[in-house]
């Protein structure tokens, strides 16, 4: 198992957000996390790479509890690629340069090496022909694909996505869904938070439903999206579909 989360809790001051989350992610697996707004999905992802310090529990990544003192947090974060809703590209840098930057700075690659690696990853995202364009010249879907190429370029053990399609119109989100599907075929391990039923249905092996800081259900897409026995889960999907 690549990642095992055990009884993870997080409180901000006196407000408890995560109340004992368990999660397993195997190599090559893609798991989707869904749940109502404010239930703690982003907090959970950020706890796993310690952008937020959890209050208690275990996060066992490649066999080691990374919440233990002495953990190299920088090294941990390099192994976890993170793709956000807002693409967070540098506006003054071309697509190519956005991808090479971390390779040069964090991995100490030469210009030539970083260029070759970046072009490879942009190619995987069908973005090679746009390598010299600046973010302002790219569509939202193209920007998101550059952000994914940038994350992949670091050769992470796992990719986290936090609502990768929610800033995109349906057509652009389809482009992003299709590249995520491609990564799935390439056996990239992924954990994806989303509200987007199309994304979840297109990609997920397993869906975890988080509610009020606990895992309320976990199952296949059909099990979670179907007529679920839990009324809160049924309500969530009824509402999501009517809002879409
Ligand atoms: N740094 C913080 N300090 C205090 N409270 C926080 C902090 N970060 C998040 N919270 C609270 O934690 C709760 C969960 O937030 P989180 O962003 O994890 O939810 P979410 O499930 O990702 O929601 P959404 O679907 O809207 O993105 C919210 O009530 C939020 O206000
Ligand atoms: Mg969130």
Query: What pLDDT tens digit does each residue of the chain (244 aa) get?
Result: 999 999 999 999 999 999 999 999 999 999 999 999 999 999 999 999 999 999 999 999 999 999 999 999 999 999 999 998 887 899 999 999 999 999 999 899 999 999 999 999 999 999 999 999 999 999 999 999 999 999 999 999 999 999 999 999 999 999 999 999 999 999 999 999 998 888 999 998 889 999 999 999 999 988 888 878 888 888 888 876 554 4
Q: Which atom of ligand 1 lies at the shortest distance from residue 52's CA?
A: 1
Give the strand order in the sheet containing 190-193: 80-83, 158-162, 190-193, 30-34, 206-211, 214-219
Q: Where are the alpha helices (DSSP H) in the chain?
A: 41-48, 73-78, 95-105, 111-124, 140-153, 170-185, 197-203, 221-225, 231-243
| pLDDT at residue number 234 | 87
86 CA distance to ligand 1 middle (Å): 16
3-12/15-25 β-pairing: antiparallel
For residue 42 and ligand 1, the question of a CB distance below 6 A is answered with: yes
- In the reported structure, the alpha carbon of residue 229 is separated from the centroid of ligand 2 by a whole-number distance in angstroms of 25
Whether the CB of 18 sits within 6 Å of ligand 1: no
Asked if residue 53 has its Cβ within 6 Å of ligand 1, the reply is no
Check residue 197 and give its pLDDT. 86
- Give pLDDT, residue 241: 56
Record the pTM.
Answer: 0.94
Which residue from 12, 52, 161 has its CB within 8 A of the most atoms of ligand 1, so it is best to mutate? 12
Check residue 113 and give its pLDDT. Answer: 97
- Best probe residue, ligand 1, of 10, 17, 216 (max atoms within 8 Å of C-beta): 17
CA of 17 relative to ligand 1 center, distance in Å: 8
Nearest to 38 by CA among 54, 15, 56: 15
Per-residue model confidence (pLDDT) at position 86: 85
Strands of 15-25's sheet in order across: 15-25, 3-12, 56-61, 64-65
Angstrom distance (rounded) from CA 90 to CA 226 = 41
> Ligand 1: which residue has its CA nearest to atom 1?
12
- Cα–ligand 1 centroid distance for 6 (angstroms): 20
Cα 45 to averaged position of ligand 2 atoms, centre (Å)? 9
Q: Report which protein residue has its CA nearest ligand 1's atom 28.
A: 38
């Amino acid at each position: 198992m690549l990642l095992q989360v055990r009884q993870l809790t997080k409180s901000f001051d006196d407000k408890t957000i995560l109340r004992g989350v368990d999660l397993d992610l195997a190599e090559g697996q893609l798991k989707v996390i869904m749940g109502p707004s404010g239930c703690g999905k982003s907090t959970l992802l950020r706890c796993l790479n310690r952008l937020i310090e959890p209050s208690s529990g275990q996060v066992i990544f490649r066999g080691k509890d990374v919440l233990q003192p002495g953990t190299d947090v920088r090294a941990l974060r390099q192994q976890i690629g993170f793709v956000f809703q807002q693409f967070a590209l540098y506006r003054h840098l071309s697509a190519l340069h956005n991808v090479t930057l971390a390779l040069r700075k964090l991995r100490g690659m030469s210009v030539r090496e970083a260029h070759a690696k970046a072009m490879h990853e942009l190619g995987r995202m069908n973005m090679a022909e746009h390598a010299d364009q600046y973010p302002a010249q790219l569509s939202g879907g193209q920007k998101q694909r550059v952000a994914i190429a940038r994350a992949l370029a670091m050769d992470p053990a796992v990719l986290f996505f936090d609502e990768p399609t929610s800033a995109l119109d349906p057509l652009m989100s389809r482009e992003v869904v299709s590249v995520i599907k491609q990564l799935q075929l390439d056996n990239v391990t992924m954990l994806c938070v989303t509200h987007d039923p199309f994304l979840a249905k297109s990609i997920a092996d397993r869906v975890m439903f988080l509610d009020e800081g606990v895992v309320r259900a976990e199952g296949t897409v059909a099990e979670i999206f179907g007529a679920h026995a839990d009324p809160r889960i049924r309500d969530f999907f009824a509402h999501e579909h009517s809002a879409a």
